[in-house]
């Protein structure tokens, strides 16, 4: 009888243990994956985004988390938009880490993984940019950044406002540059300007002299330059060598680092870039940044874009209670008038419309200053 009772007891315990092991209890944390350019040509951007994310996460977690749940960040490096790294990182985050949300930095990073994100129903926020592709790639992927199409339009409109009536477009062969170039061309021509020629070349091109010679021979009065990484520096130096002195506007790959590399050849250059307007949330984030890292951020706005991504997730979870991935997705579209450290109030609707537009800067006396 004792043996029977012992066996019965062991059976009950085994059932209880198995039952407990197989029960899915709600997680006491919110897992967020971030795939950023932490190495490579735009590593400074990725590193500032990471610091902004960490500042916001530490701030939230130190005050009890979101309704008692702490945020846990999982980072992966994608290099300079390396598709194989992005795919591997997303597969790991979805299948192994089982994250609740993912941050990607650019729309270009979304394209190789959009089907995975949709199939796994993983809410994903794109922090830096936004374009029309995000309206068609699935409802789990949303941009909180700046419109690429509107940036191109801004370039064309700005050059025309400066009295430029004939332009050359010299563009990298990549998706961002193609969108910017096409939008700039369309806007400039709609205002009455004329595009004399449109040169497309590899993103790794280092010799722009053929394009510059055509610009000089055709007396073209301005250049739109959607090229990425270190290419604008080479273009400016070669333009100086060939005595091409016309207004030029490039994109948001140009920053303090590229200015330092270009030196005096960048004087007078215009470029579009993302920005953060002064506001109490930004001041708070900057103060915490200095306290944490003992320095000022190299790129305020990218720190702010990372910080703001976490604010968007916090608001999402407050709405959804983190009940499920589908609930989180639906809650993203319920975000309305949310103050961000970059100086806007974020509203996301089901059409994923985005009017967030970059502004134009100018290099003047070796300094970067607003040009509008």
Chain segment 309-327, per-residue pLDDT in tens: 999 999 999 999 999 999 9
Q: Give the CATH number for residue 39.
A: 3.40.50.2300
Same domain, 263 and 218: yes
Same domain, 366 and 246: yes
Chain segment 354-365, per-residue pLDDT in tens: 778 999 999 999
Same domain, 287 and 243: no
- The DSSP string of 12-26 is HHHHHHHHHHHS-PP
Same domain, 311 and 186: no
Q: What is the pLDDT of residue 110?
A: 97
Contact 366, 267 (CB under 8 A): yes
Same domain, 242 and 365: yes
Report the DSSP beta bridge partners of residue 33. Answer: 74, 102
DSSP 39: S
Q: Is 34 helix (H, G, I), strand (E, B) or coil?
A: strand
Same domain, 43 and 131: yes
Residue 302 included in any domain: yes
Work out the pLDDT band at 42, boundaries 50, 70, 90.
confident
Kindly report which listed range (78-82, 110-114, 189-193, 230-234) carries the lowest average pLDDT score.
230-234
* Residue in the block written with tokens 């910017």: 180
Residue 14 included in any domain: no
Contact 195, 183 (CB under 8 A): no
Whether the predicted pLDDT of 5 surpasses 80: no
Q: Is 122 helix (H, G, I), strand (E, B) or coil?
A: coil
pTM beyond cutoff 0.85: no
As for how many domains the chain has, the answer is 2
Q: Is 195 helix (H, G, I), strand (E, B) or coil?
A: strand
The rounded percent of the chain whose pLDDT value lies above 70 is: 92
Contact 305, 47 (CB under 8 A): no
Same domain, 133 and 209: no
Chain segment 138-152, per-residue pLDDT in tens: 999 999 999 999 999
The candidate with the shortest Cα–Cα distance to 346, out of 300, 319, 315, 322, is 315
Q: What is the pLDDT of residue 14?
A: 41
Same domain, 267 and 202: yes
Same domain, 140 and 154: no
DSSP 97: I
Residue 135 included in any domain: yes
Residue 226 included in any domain: yes
Same domain, 232 and 189: yes
Contact 236, 262 (CB under 8 A): yes
Tokens of 269: 């250059």
Whole domain around residue 245: which residue ranges? 149-273+360-370
Same domain, 139 and 175: no
Q: Is 153 helix (H, G, I), strand (E, B) or coil?
A: helix
Contact 132, 320 (CB under 8 A): no
Residue 328 included in any domain: yes
Whether the predicted pLDDT of 21 surpasses 80: no
Chain segment 173-232, per-residue pLDDT in tens: 988 899 999 999 999 999 999 999 999 999 889 999 999 999 999 999 999 999 976 789
Report the DSSP beta bridge partners of residue 73. Answer: 32
Largest separation between any pair of C-alpha atoms in the chain: 105
**Radius of gyration of the CA atoms of the chain, in A:** 24
Chain segment 274-314, per-residue pLDDT in tens: 999 899 999 999 999 999 999 999 889 999 999 999 999 99
Same domain, 224 and 364: yes
The mean per-residue pLDDT over the stretch 237-243 comes to 97
Q: What is the pLDDT of residue 252?
A: 84
Contact 226, 251 (CB under 8 A): yes
Burial of 67 (0-12, 13-18, 19+ CB in 10 A): exposed
Residue 16 included in any domain: no
* 270 vs 254: CA distance, rounded Å: 10
């Amino acid at each position: 009888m004792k043996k029977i009772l012992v066996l019965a007891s062991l059976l009950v315990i085994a059932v209880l243990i198995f039952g407990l092991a197989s029960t899915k209890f709600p997680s006491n944390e919110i897992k967020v994956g971030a795939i950023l350019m932490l190495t490579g040509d735009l590593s400074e951007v990725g590193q500032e985004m990471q610091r902004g994310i960490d500042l916001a996460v530490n701030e939230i977690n130190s005050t009890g988390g979101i309704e008692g749940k702490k945020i846990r960040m999982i980072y992966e490096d994608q290099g300079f938009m390396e598709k194989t790294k992005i795919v591997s990182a997303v597969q790991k985050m979805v299948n192994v880490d089982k994250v609740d949300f993912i941050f990607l930095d650019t729309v270009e990073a979304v394209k190789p993984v959009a089907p995975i994100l949709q199939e796994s129903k993983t809410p994903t926020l794109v922090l830096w940019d936004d374009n029309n592709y995000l309206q068609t790639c699935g409802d789990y992927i949303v941009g909180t950044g700046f419109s690429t199409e509107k940036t191109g339009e801004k370039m064309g409109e700005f050059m025309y406002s400066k009295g430029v009536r004939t332009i050359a477009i010299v563009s990298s062969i990549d998706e961002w540059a193609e969108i910017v170039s096409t939008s700039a061309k369309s806007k400039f021509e709609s205002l009455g300007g004329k595009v004399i020629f449109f040169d497309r070349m590899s993103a790794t091109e280092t010799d722009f002299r053929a394009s510059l010679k055509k610009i000089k021979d055709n007396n073209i009065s301005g250049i739109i330059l959607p090229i990425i990484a270190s290419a604008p520096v080479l273009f400016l130096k070669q333009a100086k060598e060939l005595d091409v002195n016309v207004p030029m506007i490039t994109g948001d790959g140009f920053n303090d680092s590229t200015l330092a590399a270009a030196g005096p050849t960048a004087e007078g250059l215009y470029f579009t870039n993302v920005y953060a307007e002064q506001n109490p949330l930004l001041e708070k984030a900057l103060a915490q940044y200095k306290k944490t890292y003992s320095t000022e951020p190299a790129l305020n706005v990218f720190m702010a874009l990372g910080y703001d991504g976490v604010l968007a997730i916090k608001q999402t979870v407050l709405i959804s209670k983190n009940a499920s991935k589908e609930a989180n997705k639906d809650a993203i579209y319920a975000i309305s008038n949310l103050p961000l450290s970059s100086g806007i109030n974020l509203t996301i609707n089901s059409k994923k419309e985005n009017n967030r537009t970059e502004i134009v800067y100018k290099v003047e006396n070796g300094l970067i200053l607003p040009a509008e």
